[in-house]
Amino acid sequence: MEIKIELTKTPKAKPTDETKLGFGHIFTDHMFVMNYDTGEGWHDARIVPFDNVTLSPAAMCLHYGQEIFEGLKAYRTADGTVQLFRPDENYKRMNVSAERMVIPQIDEEFMVEATKKLVEVEKDWVPHTDGASLYIRPFIFATDPYVGVRPADHYLFLIILSPSGAYYSTGLNPVKIYVEQKYVRAVRGGTGFAKTAANYAISLKGQDEAHAQDYEQVLWLDGVEQKYIEEVGSMNIFFVIDGEVITPLLTGSVLPGITRKSALEVCRSKGIKATERRITIEEVAKAYDEGKLDEVFGTGTAAVISPVGHLKWGDKVMTINDNKIGKISQMLYDTMTGIQWGKIPDEFGWTVKID
């Protein structure tokens, strides 16, 4: 499919102070758009000036939440090259989400090409500051004007871009999280493994209560017994117990993070034992009491590695590694950001250059 390009006649001024970008507030001059209509398939791929979308008030996405999304970044290396990190994995996962939400499949290779094209058009928007990047948000939503419940016949696929600042402006600060014991995020047979808006809508209440108590995030347990550890809502979770790296198994209620997958691969390539298995909060607390809980960290595209310094489970407060970043967390952070910003050779073949 050909991608038509219509350039804006009124380009916006680019942010001058890249230390104040923050996350998700600023959008570039252009976006990618493609339509789906039953019988016709995906069509009219185009790059157009960034603008509002017009929807019927009856658009199905607004009523029943048939929507999926992805999140990845473009990085500028020291020599000015712009590159993506494992974009093929994002579009593969998007098709898994699509299948679960009864949204039509996309051509993964074409979408990687479309993403490259859009980033190429917006190349000057990719920040130059160390640690800053261009966040890429592909998403699909149902547009049929119909208030009945069924999978839609019409969809829009958009990609928007947002320059975002360094996640850690003051070094890798460990986060404070608590174990959520009241609410659940996902259950077996549900949509936990899909990147869909609904999973976030469900998580807001727990997140809100955590913020009110001065915690940054909640650690979700399984939705049935509230015993097994799942993830942190927008990050996967890892524990280092007695030198072994452990992350919960993907049982259908955990989002299969690309950073999670990459962290496991980096550990294994360095001869560090890295295991995917079910792990209970009791086991973590026991390891802590025995002095074997070396490190806890989250993984996700936004922060890459987010050390957990403070973990609360009921009345039990665990301070991990003296509230400092651990050895394995630091190694993973250095390796992955090193590859992303082109500071170390990409021996895994994960980066995709924009020409």
Ligand X SMILES: *Cc1c(COP(=O)(O)O)cnc(C)c1O
Binding footprint of ligand X on the chain (CB under 6 A): 71, 195, 199, 231, 233-236, 255, 257-260, 299-301
Nearest by Cα to 90 from 122, 46, 130, 135: 135
Q: Measured from the CB of residue 127, what is the shortest distance to ligand X in angstroms?
A: 19
> 126 or 336, CB closer to ligand X?
336
- For the chain, the farthest-separated pair of C-alpha atoms sits apart, in whole angstroms, at 64
Residue 49, Cα to own-chain centre: how many angstroms? 25
Query: What is the three-class DSSP state of 47?
Result: strand
Is the backbone of residue 334 left (phi > 0), alpha (psi -120 to 50) or beta? alpha
| Distance of alpha carbon 255 from alpha carbon 203, whole angstroms | 13
To which H or E segment does residue 15 belong? none
Q: How far is the CB of 299 from ligand X (least distance, A)?
A: 6
CB of 121 to ligand X, least distance (A): 24
- Hey, which residues does 219 pair with through a beta bridge? 179
Within 10 angstroms of residue 35's Cβ, the number of other Cβ atoms is: 16
| Minimal distance, residue 239 CB to ligand X, in Å | 16
C-alpha–C-alpha distance, residues 164 and 173, integer Å: 18
Name the residue nearer to ligand X (CB basis): 47 or 177.
177
Supply the minimum distance, in Å, between the C-beta of residue 301 and ligand X.
Answer: 3
Minimum CB separation from ligand X for residue 97, in Å? 10
C-alpha dihedral sign at 112, 118, 119, 120: positive
Assess contact for 86 and 262: CB atoms under 8 A: yes
CB of 129 to ligand X, least distance (A): 21
Report which DSSP code applies to 124. Answer: G
* 155 membership: H or E segment, kind and range: strand 154-164
Rounded CA-CA distance 76/158 in Å is 23
Q: Shortest distance, CB of residue 165 to ligand X, whole angstroms? A: 17
**Cα 111 to Cα 119: distance, rounded to the nearest angstrom:** 12
Amino acid letter for position 311: L
| 137/312 with CB nearer ligand X | 137
Residue 53 has a CB neighbour count (10 Å cut-off) of 11
Which residues are within 8 A (CB) of 353 and not within 5 positions of it... i.e. 6 or more apart? Answer: 81, 82, 83
| Amino acid found at 108 | E
Closer of 85 and 125 to ligand X (Cβ)? 85
Residue 163 or 233: the one with the smaller Cβ distance to ligand X is 233
For the CB of residue 263, give the shortest distance to ligand X in the complex, in Å: 9
Closer residue to ligand X (CB): 119 or 219: 219
Nearer to ligand X, 155 or 193 (CB): 193
CB nearer to ligand X: give 223 or 300: 300
Nearer to ligand X among residue 76 and residue 195 (C-beta): 195
In the complex, minimum distance from the CB of residue 231 to ligand X, in angstroms, rounded to a whole number: 5
C-beta of 121 vs 177, nearer to ligand X: 177
> Please, are residues 191 and 147 in contact by the beta-carbon 8 Å criterion?
no
